[in-house]
Amino acid sequence: MKILFTSRRVGDPAYRSRDSARRGASLTRRLFPSLGILLLLFFQGLETRAADALQNAVGVLTVDERGISLAPASTNCPAIVARGEPVWAVLMQPDTPPPVAGTPVVLTDKNQKPKREVTADGVRLIYDQLTDGQRTWRVGVTLDFHRQGDAFEVTGEVRNAEPGWLMCGFTGPVLHGIRADLATQPALLPDGLGRIINRMSDDKKAVNEIGAEYPSRKGTMQWCAFAGEQGGLYYGCHDPLHGAKTICVRRDAAGQTYGLAVKHEAFCAAGQRWALPPTLIMPYAGSWHVAARYYRAWSEGVVQPLAVPEWARNASGWLLCILKQQNGEVHWDYSALGKLCDVAEARGLDMLGLFGWAHGGHDHLYPEYFPDPKMGGAETLRRSLQEIRERGKRSILYANGQLIEQGTEFWEREGRALAVLKRDGTPVQQTYHKYRTTAPFRFGLGCLAAPAWFDRMLALAVQAHALGADGILYDQLGVNEPLACYAAGHGHPVPALVYVEDRVRFLRRIEEHMRKLNPDFIVMTEGLHDSVLGSISMFHGCMTGTFAVSGKEMLARLHRQGNSAPFPELFRYTFPAMLTTIRMPTPMLDRAMANFTCVYGLRFEIETRYAPDRRYLCEDRVPEAADYADVINKPDLALMHTTPPAVAARYLKQVIEFQRAHADLLWRGRFTDDEGFALKGRNLVTKSFVAGNKLGVLVWNPGDQPATFELTVPGATLLAASEPEQDKVEAFSLLPPQSIRLIEWKRSKK
């Protein structure tokens, strides 16, 4: 749980652009050069040699010396008119032990002479060796462009035969000259639950590039799209190994067209080959849901969907509680967990997320987690966890999946040897500082490929189970992007990309082990990316689309007012079975957030982390800023002052009881976004859920005025309409401000 870190970074496209720029400025300049030649494209048609043109039902893809062009069959998909910029780049670095100096050498397809072969389904370009203009590199590249059903697929490989050099990245296939109009074909990016790009800065000085770093909360899936209402362009990497990559969308400096690129991070030593994962380019007809289903169909063949225990599918969400803080202050000892159950019950929350439960407190002494004698000892903890279950609640114990505190006995004894090392040979470091009056703590990151780190983390799950918890949260494993690890002795080649497929295996092995012990025990993590859908029963939200939103902001989203906005529909629709909580680092949430969580089918959370949070929950005492004087990352005080505690608690419980009463649709049903119905009405958020032949539509009026509306579902019978505060209502009567309504239909069997 790293709120400061989170809220500053997630949802801030400006930061993301700078971040991307820092990482690859020189490379992107070469791949997307300044575009004096732009005008050329207006005079050049798609002159192609027949052998290089791949045709299928959706368009013609042309590969020639100008790059990759696309003439889609439908005008709903943007055309691509290549202009001669590089289509790919290989990055090379010296193969030496750390510290590795300098920046990578970038070799692109420009000024190379490939052999061209016509294949059964397309064209193959073979580069036996590469030149940088001065010298020859014994690096070979093959790219295969072929038809793949309604898509065009690019595969290939890099062959490194250059002694003393390591391939450290590959960018491509790069698309330039995409003639999209964001006003009608916004870009959808897999940032968190999703992001919609309505326009990109036309500041000539800015780097107009936004990247999604996969797999991490900043890049949760391997696809993006220019998505019009009637059709669009899908660009996805179908990489079954979930390799490290950044999917980038870029606005050309002249502002006329857009670019797309996949920047792969991978190592390939001399004498080895690296396979380029398949990249799919596909014009599609229909809404963006068509593109989402295309990705889903591929993904489901790669990641075995997890059978989430019934209790978790029927859980409303959690009360996150930091029992003992980083400074050693105990806010809830083990005997107070019954009181915590009361607080959860008064709000309808089914789970308790127990953070800071171990001797070190929160964000201290990781990865050692012992029941704390000062908080009542192991026996009291066991009895309290038992009581939680007897009261129909579930408990999740915390463990950080990656942090090792530096300077501790564990660090000296084992930790240092397990830590991820950077290319300069020093450990990757993160700092967490919660109180002004105490010193910050510094942490290294455990290498997930190291067997001893796995053993320690598995032992924590086994301990949590033995203590009587219903699950374990490995904090942060859905958050961070992959890292290069230069440490020897971790069981991986040096260097290696870690927090990639090693993270997938790590979590899957733990999940499988625990499932055998107890099929009802769940594994959770913070953040989200689809590579771990096979092992995580529920995510602890900490990504774009899970943070607090107001009714006003929802209206702005509806009217696409911002340059970009969270678009949680994207992941929810692509993977409707995925469970995640929202992120609410405050001991309450307001009406807007309760409605948002319900309408998007997310699970609830509120948090109690500091003494004034506890007083708020137990004594209805609304805190002031001075109460948190020493606290660096305060809860949302303004929000706490907008709604009286009892009112906020009551509405949260009403919404949850409403979901429970309609759990077949709202918890266990399939989220189908805006499919299946037609809306007549303005300023309303409407989302559908399907269970069998039942269709439910949640309508949310986030505004301040009552709203009139109508919904139609062809060939279906209206069953009922209800609201959290009213059991039976007229389906299309006025919807009060800041209210939600569920309308249910029965559809005739197909």
Q: Which residues bind Zn ion (CB under 5 A)?
A: 447, 485, 487, 490
Q: Least CB distance from residue 445 to Zn ion, whole Å?
A: 9
Q: Least CB distance from residue 485 to Zn ion, whole Å?
A: 3
Q: What is the 3-state secondary structure (H, E, C) of 128-160?
A: CCEECCCCEECEEEEEEEEEECCEEEEEEEEEE
| Distance separating alpha carbons of residues 731 and 690, to the nearest angstrom | 18
Name the residue with tokens 């986030």.
Answer: 702
Between 487 and 602, CB nearer to Zn ion: 487
Q: Least CB distance from residue 446 to Zn ion, whole Å?
A: 9
Quick one: which of 212, 227, 221, 225 has its CA closest to 239? 221
Between 446 and 623, CB nearer to Zn ion: 446
Between 489 and 519, CB nearer to Zn ion: 489
Q: Least CB distance from residue 277 to Zn ion, whole Å?
A: 22
Q: Least CB distance from residue 104 to Zn ion, whole Å?
A: 20
Between 470 and 501, CB nearer to Zn ion: 501
| Distance separating alpha carbons of residues 176 and 261, to the nearest angstrom | 9
Contact (CB, 8 A) for 296 and 575: yes
Between 402 and 633, CB nearer to Zn ion: 402
Q: Least CB distance from residue 490 to Zn ion, whole Å?
A: 3
Between 490 and 591, CB nearer to Zn ion: 490
Q: Give the list of residues 6+ apart from residue 344 with CB closer than 8 angstroms, or none.
A: 318, 319, 350, 351, 352, 393
Between 71 and 484, CB nearer to Zn ion: 484
Tokens representing residue 18 in the block: 């700078």
In 10 A of CB 26, how many CB atoms? 10
Produce one character per residue of 266-287: b if its CB has 16 or more CB atoms within 10 Å, e if not.
bbbbbeeebebbbbbbbbbbeb
Q: Least CB distance from residue 444 to Zn ion, whole Å?
A: 11
Q: Least CB distance from residue 457 to Zn ion, whole Å?
A: 15
Distances from the Cα of 543 to the Cα of 12, 389, 583, angstroms: 11, 30, 8
Between 68 and 487, CB nearer to Zn ion: 487
| Distance separating alpha carbons of residues 305 and 195, to the nearest angstrom | 24
Contact (CB, 8 A) for 199 and 181: no
Between 145 and 506, CB nearer to Zn ion: 506
Between 63 and 418, CB nearer to Zn ion: 418
Q: Least CB distance from residue 486 to Zn ion, whole Å?
A: 8
| Distance separating alpha carbons of residues 644 and 649, to the nearest angstrom | 9
Contact (CB, 8 A) for 445 and 419: yes
Q: How many CA atoms lie within 13 A of 283 on its CB side?
A: 23
In 10 A of CB 708, how many CB atoms? 13
Which region holds residue 571: left if phi is over 0, alpha if psi is between -120 and 50, else beta? alpha
Between 491 and 706, CB nearer to Zn ion: 491
Tokens representing residue 647 in the block: 């009112």
Q: Least CB distance from residue 448 to Zn ion, whole Å?
A: 8
Q: Least CB distance from residue 450 to Zn ion, whole Å?
A: 6
Contact (CB, 8 A) for 450 and 505: no
Between 487 and 555, CB nearer to Zn ion: 487
Between 417 and 690, CB nearer to Zn ion: 417
With 0-12 / 13-18 / 19 or more C-beta atoms within 10 angstroms meaning exposed / middle / buried, residue 499 is buried
| Distance separating alpha carbons of residues 700 and 679, to the nearest angstrom | 12
Q: Least CB distance from residue 748 to Zn ion, whole Å?
A: 57
Q: Give the list of residues 6+ apart from residue 205 with CB closer than 8 angstroms, or none.
A: none
Q: Side chain identity at 681, as an amino acid letter?
A: G
| Distance separating alpha carbons of residues 346 and 338, to the nearest angstrom | 13
Between 170 and 499, CB nearer to Zn ion: 499
Q: Least CB distance from residue 492 to Zn ion, whole Å?
A: 6
Q: Side chain identity at 152, as an amino acid letter?
A: F
Contact (CB, 8 A) for 612 and 628: yes
Edge-to-edge order in the sheet of strand 115-119: 115-119, 122-127, 139-148, 151-160, 272-285, 231-237, 223-227, 187-189, 195-197, 564-566
Which region holds residue 310: left if phi is over 0, alpha if psi is between -120 and 50, else beta? alpha
Q: Least CB distance from residue 270 to Zn ion, whole Å?
A: 21
